[in-house]
Amino acid sequence: MSNRESTALTDRFGRVINYLRLSVTDRCDFRCIYCMAEEMTFVPRQQLLTLEEMAFLGRAFVELGVSRIRLTGGEPLVRRNLMSLVRDLGNLDGLDELLLTTNGSRLDEVADELVAAGVNRINISLDSVQPRRFAEITRTGELHRVLKGIAAAQRAGIERVKINSVIMRGHNDDEIMPLLEFALERGLDISFIEEMPLGETGRDERKGELVSSEEVRQRIGEYYPLTSSNDSSPGPSRYYRIAGSDSRIGFISPNSHNFCESCNRVRVTCEGRLLLCLGNEHSVDLREVIRTSPGDMGVLKAAITRAMDIKPERHHFYETDQPQVVRFMNATGG
């Protein structure tokens, strides 16, 4: 029998929240140029939620009607003992999908275990298929390890493994077609993401380097006719198809197409801060709630429900010259 309460989480604008993105760490073995600065200060370990606290939090959200949880970060697979959290969440009655976003560098070692513990879908970031370029964009990453990770996810039986590619002018906008071909050849889905102005990453040229989804779509259209598709996913991708291929081609356009009106999600940072919007600072400290009233599910659920009243209507990326949010993406939970 399901533990879910009939009252779903609904905000002031009538949006139903059924999707949680949980950041399990802000640390990462990469330093992607659009996500982090070269030198980063990470959250001290004692300030992190424990894995048990994260599992408790996950249960609270599921009992409130959340049916999908995505584990993200930072790089989720660098969090020690992550598998125990995956197992706890994978066993939750009422959770339809447990998803993972990873840079893929360690996926080869754990893909089978993740699937056995209940992970249904995996997204892997890949912004270049050229080893040297890949190393430049990630600053520390090695392409061959990520390629092994992608293959391992497919071998482990994950349906619809998806590649996420952030396209930046002058960095990898000449790789739109190679990335697409990479996905098509392997039966992978792929989403092209517009870079968001989060955190001071040390790259001042971000706005000028923005490549819109529309431009990416047009460039692909010169080689393959794209057909708009009704496919949907928990995230904000709009999907297209290419005749003769099973791959879905997605576009995530936080700047050019504001998808706020259909927002169904909230985020929790690795410190237990509930973020109501990717592009705003409205938040509630759930770690404080959990540590003040340990084990009290009623208090936690009441705090989450109350938080719906401060979910902002929308974000305003690139409407000013300054990054609107000083948080880095790794702290936000991508």
Which residues of this chain interact with ligand SF4, rule CB under 6 A?
28, 30-32, 35-36, 73-75, 103, 125, 329-330
**With binding defined as CB under 6 A, does residue 163 bind ligand SAM?**
no
Residue with smaller CB distance to ligand SAM, 213 or 330: 330
| Residue 36 binding partner per list ligand SF4, ligand SAM, none, with a CB distance cut-off of 5 to 8 Å that depends on partner kind | ligand SF4
63 and 301 Cβ atoms separated by less than 8 Å: yes
| Residue 31 binding partner per list ligand SF4, ligand SAM, none, with a CB distance cut-off of 5 to 8 Å that depends on partner kind | ligand SF4
Residue with smaller CB distance to ligand SF4, 139 or 169: 139
Residue with smaller CB distance to ligand SF4, 234 or 334: 334
Half-sphere exposure at residue 39, Cβ-oriented, CA atoms within 13 angstroms = 0
**With binding defined as CB under 6 A, does residue 34 bind ligand SAM?**
yes
Q: Give the whole-angstrom CA distance, residue 224 versus residue 264.
A: 32
Residue with smaller CB distance to ligand SF4, 62 or 188: 188
**With binding defined as CB under 6 A, does residue 175 bind ligand SAM?**
no
Sign for the pseudo-dihedral over CA of 10, 11, 13, 16: negative
**With binding defined as CB under 6 A, does residue 323 bind ligand SAM?**
no
Closest Cα to residue 80, out of 50, 59, 122, 107?
Answer: 50
Residues facing residue 284 across a β-bridge = 274
Number of residues assigned to the chain: 334
Q: Give the whole-angstrom CA distance, residue 106 versus residue 110.
A: 7
Count of CB atoms within 10 A of residue 80's CB? 9
Q: How far is the CB of 162 from ligand SF4 (least distance, A)?
A: 14
Which positions lie near ligand SAM, rule CB under 6 A? 28, 34-35, 72-73, 75, 101-103, 125, 164, 166, 193, 195-196, 198, 329-330, 334
